[in-house]
Amino acid sequence: MRKVTLQKFIDQFNGKTVEFTNFEIEYRDRMLKVMELIISDITLTDKQIYDKIRQTYKCTYPVVLQDIMVAQRLIANQINPKGDPHKIWIRYLVEQGAKRAIQMAEEKGDSKAYAYAIGMIGKYHMADKEDVVTPDYSEITPFMPVITSDPKVLGIELPPDFEKKRADMKKKFEGDYQNFMRKMTIPDAEIIKEEDED
């Protein structure tokens, strides 16, 4: 399926007005039928869905498999647009299957099966873990460093006569410093003008 067609399906599924071509209309209706089958019975296999679809539409098994993938992605996108569609779908499948198991266990009075099914839902939703709360980044004040030459910010305390010692050291090594800077200085390039040939 082309990406633009898939985006049309997603947009329409989210309530937007979308214009389809005749081919896309047939494709959309077939895919919506696939989605209806999936939602009506989460335990249907791909082969069972294909057998039901081919009663109305002329299509191959690989085409129906692609429709199933799109339908699953649409459902996953509706549940959590920011998550991994495949993992979201698997979680949805597990949850729906566990709900059916709960109903069956309740009908049979099987408390162990009931508790196990409830545990499966809790496991896949990590109910035993602390919720991960996304911080409100708008309230975070960014760190704004201020450049300073004060060594006190590093926990270094200068001696009381520091300025006098610095002045003495500068005076003592001023000649060496100037000599060093002279050697490091690159002289200006001399521009040599080419003499015109006679």
Question: Phi-psi region for residue 4, left (φ > 0), alpha (ψ -120 to 50) or beta?
Answer: alpha
Rounded CA separation 172/15 (Å) = 82
pTM: 0.51
- pLDDT for residue 82: 83
154, pLDDT greater than 90: no
The CA-atom distances, in angstroms, between 161 and each of 148, 156, 165, 169, 195 are 21, 15, 6, 12, 63
pLDDT digits (tens, 9 = 90+) for 38-65: 888 888 889 999 999 999 888 899 989 9
